[in-house]
Structure 1
Amino acid sequence: MTWRDLTDPRLVARGVELEAGLKEPVFENLEIPEPLGPATVVADDHKIKRYAFTQDDYHPWHFGPSPFGGRIAHAGLLSNDLVQLFTTVYAASRTVGLHTEEQLWFDDPAHLDERVTLSGTYVDSYSKRGQDYVVMEAGATGSDGRSILRHRGIEILRTQPGDVAGRNGTGGQGAGKVVDGSYDEDAATAVIGTSSVRPGAPLPLLHVTITQEQASVFSRCGEYVRNTHSDLAVARASGLRIPIVQGQQQCGLITGMLTRFFGSSMFTSGWLRVKFLNPVEVFDPLEVGGVVAGVQELDADRLGVDVEVWVRRADGKLSTAGWARAEVPAAAPHELRTAALGV
């Protein structure tokens, strides 16, 4: 039976070392280009429920009927599997890296019990300001060959996470301005298909606290992986007080918020690019927010909506910030209105 994860932890009972023979995750061992995977995972009931727990995201489409005819996986369900594809070649528990940037393209939802093939490549590597970076491109393909999700990520391969923090800026692309987490506080909350979708209008805010249990499960403790997100000793050896929330888990919080805002369009035309700015310790209360940055009329029936997005820590600093976009109906159908209400 195909397992739901990159590795099958049941093999440990037979004496199999899951990381045996894998490369040490250091810059000198990189080969560019270097294939990663392929791996096959199943978007089964357990995988969906587990992801819902880690993200505190129980949207009804993941537990019952959806606009796609049946139960579907969260838009971000496979995103961490893609990030972790490098552990098919490199030893996961010897990795002390730092995810710095993530970009995702959402092409189609994964359906319940669908077998999905993941494959990727390390396409570039470089050194900057004393840190060694690697760039990965990867994708998730459905059982019928269609693209579900595409990923491009940048990571510092090995570092001391406690020494790399406080970059505090996004710069660059997306809507073309620095994302600072500000919005028009007097504006009505934006709802797709209504006149409230205008530049400066806030997206519905999400408040969540990622506990140690949630961070550990998201960061593969079920596959016996030890890292700065799941293990106190590893975190402290890396210069941290306590474990930190994986950047990709924060990205998932944003993806869930965008699903409620964009509706089904998130699964078929969504794009997200974020940068990870400051670490988040487990148990730190977070605000996940966004603001409409621009609206484009694509034709009589569809709009392109650009937004800025962020995760804000309890101390007011942004931990994650970036940009997103989707093509949405000009007038909101029933499913978009119910998604916005979270029902």
Structure 2
Amino acid sequence: MTNPQQQPWRDLTDPRAAAAGEELEKGLKEPEFENLEIPEDLGSAQVVVDDHKIKRFAFTQDDHGPWYLERSPFGGQRIGHAALLGNDLVQLFTRVYAASKVVGYHTEEQMWFDSPAVLDEPVTLSGTYTEAFERRGEGYVVMEAQATGSDGRSIVRHRGVEILRTTPGAIAGRGSATPERRVTGIVPEDARTVDHADGDLRVGDVLAPLEKTITAEQAAVFSRVGEYVRNIHNDIRAAREGGLRAPIVQGQQQFGVLAELLTLRFGAPVLTSGHIRVKFLAPLDVFEPFTATGVVTAITPDGAGRRIDLEVWVRRARDGRLMTAGWADVVLPGNA
């Protein structure tokens, strides 16, 4: 008989191995800046976009759209959410470095969406640490990674910047050190709010906001509690050891909300031509209500369609503070 643990699994690690007494992080490197090798090949992994993986992501994001659970515009097939594979790519380094010893801080995320992942499709993830540098006494590392479909097509590409090991409570909230194109999240009071983009879209239009609250349960599931990984997002003791009051929502989980926002407002083109780049400015506690929105900054011809450029952001509800901010673009066909 075939050992089920030898078949492709939905995650980077197969937690069923723990039942056989295996140490899931045995032999992995300590996540220290001094242990980096640049460039460092992080290897590859195959994950399956199965029903459970899609439904689990829908739970963590509270995004139960029909494209993911019923049928999509892509040949009627069920597909994964635009950012479904984002955390798999971010966490790819934990195949080399011990995940439960990581007390890092994700500072920047960028993804290009090339095509949707289809239900039950095996997807190959691969990545490399391409750069390392020091700033403000912290050691940063840059990862470039990609997810490739079973037919060789690109699904998504990723570039992320992270402080590999730090005390999150000591650095969180000091904002971005790069002032370029700073996003303020300020829009005119008379700006038009757009629920779904059409041919009448204008510069200055504001995307109808998404209001969210990510619970401790959602954050824990998103942050790999099901793989027995312990971190500042799924364990209150780990959070407090990192100088935090409570677990914080992973930056990548907020990124997924922005991807949901763009998909709702611009539709299927986001999954084939979308791009988002954000910086994580301050930590977001679990159970903390927030709003995600954006504003159209430019509309330019692009082939037979139009390229829409935006500023996007996540704002904490209780005091209006920007938690995440950045830029996005998508190409809409024709006059859509």
Tell me the equivalent position of 1:313.
316
Which 4+ stretches in 1 moved above 4 angstroms?
169-173
Tell me the equivalent position of 2:283.
279
Q: Unaligned stretches of 5+ in structure 1?
A: 333-343
Residues 3, 41 of structure 1: 8 Å contact kept: yes
Tell me the equivalent position of 2:135.
128
Tell me the distance in 2 between the aligned counterparts of 1:142 and 1:108. 9
Query: Displacement of 1:172 after TM fit?
Result: 5.6
1:196-207 residue pairs with structure 2 within 5 A?
197-207=201-211
1:87 aligned partner, one-letter code: T
Residues 183, 201 of structure 1: 8 Å contact kept: no
Residues 306, 335 of structure 2: 8 Å contact kept: no
Tell me the equivalent position of 2:21.
15
- Cα 1:172–1:305 shift into 2, 3 Å: farther
2:70 corresponds to 1:64: yes
Query: Displacement of 1:257 after TM fit?
Result: 0.6
Matched residue of 1:307: which SS?
strand
Q: Unaligned stretches of 5+ in structure 2?
A: 1-6
Tell me the distance in 1 between the aligned counterparts of 2:191 and 2:219. 34
Match of 2:231 among 227, 232, 249: 227
Tell me the equivalent position of 1:193.
198
Scaled by the length of structure 1, the TM-score of the pair is 0.93
Identity of aligned residues (%): 61
Cα RMSD for the two superposed structures: 1.2
Match of 1:162 among 154, 169, 175: 169
2:99 aligned partner, one-letter code: A
Tell me the distance in 2 between the aligned counterparts of 1:169 and 1:134. 16
2:83 corresponds to 1:80: no
1:206 aligned partner, one-letter code: L
2:232 aligned partner, one-letter code: T
Query: Displacement of 1:169 after TM fit?
Result: 4.9
Tell me the equivalent position of 2:4.
none
Tell me the distance in 2 between the aligned counterparts of 1:229 and 1:36. 23
Tell me the distance in 1 between the aligned counterparts of 2:28 and 2:324. 31
Tell me the distance in 2 between the aligned counterparts of 1:126 and 1:55. 32
Tell me the equivalent position of 2:216.
212
Q: Give CA-to-partner distance per residue, 1:259-317, whole Å, 9 cap, x none.
A: 11121111111111000000000000010111111111224x41100011011012211
Q: Give CA-to-partner distance per residue, 1:75-110, whole Å, 9 cap, x none.
A: 000000000000000000000000000110111000
Scaled by the length of structure 2, the TM-score of the pair is 0.95
Query: Displacement of 1:171 after TM fit?
Result: 5.3
Tell me the distance in 1 between the aligned counterparts of 2:176 and 2:36. 29
